[in-house]
Structure 1
Amino acid sequence: MSYVLGIPRYANVAPLYHFLEEGDGIAFRYGVPTQLNQWLLEGSVDLSLVSSYFYLKNADRLRPLPDFSIADLGPVYSVNLFHRKPWEALRRLAITTESATSVELLRYLLRADGVRAELFPEQGGLELLERYDGVLLIGDRAITTYCSLLSVIPESVHQVPSELEGVRITDLSMKWFERTRLPFVFAVWTTRKNAPPPPEIVRRLRQARSLGLGNLAAVAGSEAQRLGVPERLMQHYLWNFRYHLEVPDRLGLQAFAQAVGLPYPNDYWDV
């Protein structure tokens, strides 16, 4: 019987599993974070990348691996609020239904700046700006939407524009960094507390990550082709992430727990 891994099909996850093959006791189940969160609790997946907010909210039932994360320090480029009005003038925002973490991060940042905006779950893209002051997009949709506004691919991180065709792009992770000077952790590999991960599975995950990061150009090429975006842009995007849940990342996760009023358990599997 296969050990089922829950995987969000986002480009920033690809370095973790691109070189991990299904079979030999492992099966993949793809979904958006909100689906994976539920499947893990139900038991239809054994080990899953889950959103950090969901983990913190269910820490009595979940425990993460000690050295895996989807995190970044500064801009993430794929958790973006697209808006035409200035940040302080935002009142009605359409928000993604794919992940609670990005939504809770947005709530915190608005609250911290004294911005009183209502949030409305919606599915869609920039067309929602016809009815809302802003729209929060994450993952692949955020990347492809941003890319669709670009006329020239920036050659440097210092040339990445934050306003295109009259649309402002607020990178929520960068806004978090400006406030905290800490990384932001978006997801962690997690199991149920009563189901410890097999050491062999963890070993294969670590090996796959090592290959993914060591061959980032190949991973970026595959993901760029899948999404129909320039390979150089995808490589720039992927090299920005932190995949090892190091001490700064754990401090960032602890700060996020405090920001949203949840305890930080600091409890990881010893594998």
Structure 2
Amino acid sequence: MAGGRGAGGAVSYRAGWIHYTNVAPILDDLVLPPRVSAVTGVPTQMNAALLSGEVDIANISAVEFIRNAATLAALPDFSVSVLGPVYSVNLFHRVPWPDLKRVALTAQSATSVALLEVLLRGSGVPAVLERAEGTAQDLLAAGYDGVLRIGDSALREWYGVVGPLTEATTMTALPHTRGGVMVTDLAEKWFELTGHPFVFAVWAYRKDAPPPADLVQAMRVSRRRGIGALAQVAERHAEKLGLPARVVQHYLWNFRYHLEAPDRLGLREFAAKAVPDHAPLSFGAPPT
């Protein structure tokens, strides 16, 4: 399992996993090869650990990869991407998008904040972004026009606005407004702006410490198994999230866990918009 130690031998390669629901199909059943160890943590911890050399590879936020492209490379066939809505990177707001003036940022990934800045700038909305902690509903009640929420908590809060969803609900035409609260899915807004997928995370490694081939192969095996068993993965995580399994399964099957040409195109466009002076992005050759 991710987080365990490789079987036998001294550890020589270190992985840092951000183990949220959206990567469960890759990490839940990952068996580490010999001499590989893994730790888990939140994005800020794993970003820092990778940059400091405490770990050699991590599934870090796309914007951190872009900002540190001089020292990092990404696996060429792994990402956490979507084409359209993601459901877990949401702006909750009570005024229309063009009227946003004050937006609260709770504990966020750097990529989500950078994406929000790109989208606001692209639509000519000069909103002020402020750090504040609390649920979307509490911060809206406190006077913020909008609240950015990400991750598992954002998925739960999204369902709190649009749910409950029944078997008869068309999952391709979900409501985005209820009770005076609007939910703007930032990945969907990116698609409307660019027509490209959005890459939220990549598996980045230090250029001076490329991953062993058996680790990458183990990740591929785990991904294949996870994607082939989404219903079971969803049931396992639905209980933790307190959401219906069918909603979690719909959430997971939206993700693109490879890094194909359209995903790279979207990643490069985001890099140009968010970090215009970035170093060239490097994607390592697939290990044999």
Partner deviation per Cα, 1:86-105 (whole Å, 9 max, x = no partner): 10111111113331101010
Quick one: which amino acid aligns to residue 111 of structure 2? T
Question: What's 1:265 paired with?
Answer: 280
Question: What's 2:185 paired with?
Answer: 171
Question: What's 1:86 paired with?
Answer: 96
Question: What's 1:157 paired with?
Answer: 171
1:56 aligns with 2:66: yes
1:214 aligns with 2:228: yes
Q: 1:263 to 1:151 in 2, by over 3 A?
A: closer
Which of 210, 230, 234 is residue 244 of structure 2 equivalent to? 230
Identify unmatched segments of 5+ residues in structure 1: none
1:191-210 alignment runs, 5 A limit? 191-210=205-224
CA contact (8 A) 2:162 2:174 kept: no
Identity among equivalent pairs (%): 48
Quick one: which amino acid aligns to residue 48 of structure 1? A
Quick one: which amino acid aligns to residue 158 of structure 2? Y
Q: 1:153 to 1:24 in 2, by over 3 A?
A: farther
Partner deviation per Cα, 1:74-125 (whole Å, 9 max, x = no partner): 0111100001011011111111333110101000110111101111122321
For the residue of structure 2 that corresponds to 1:74, the secondary structure is: coil
CA contact (8 A) 1:71 1:243 kept: yes
Question: What's 1:128 paired with?
Answer: 139
For the residue of structure 1 that corresponds to 2:29, the secondary structure is: coil
**Deviation (angstroms), 1:205:** 0.7
Which of 136, 148, 172 is residue 160 of structure 2 equivalent to? 148
Q: 1:22 to 1:144 in 2, by over 3 A?
A: farther
Question: What's 2:83 paired with?
Answer: 73
CA contact (8 A) 2:32 2:218 kept: no
Question: What's 1:9 paired with?
Answer: 19
**Deviation (angstroms), 1:167:** 0.8
CA contact (8 A) 1:32 1:99 kept: no
Task: Please report the RMSD computed on the Cα atoms of aligned residues, expressed in angstroms.
Answer: 1.6
Partner deviation per Cα, 1:58-84 (whole Å, 9 max, x = no partner): 000101111000000001111000010
Give TM-score, length-normalised by structure 2.
Answer: 0.90
In the alignment of these two chains, the number of paired residues is 271
Quick one: which amino acid aligns to residue 41 of structure 1? L
Q: Which has the larger radius of gyration?
A: 2
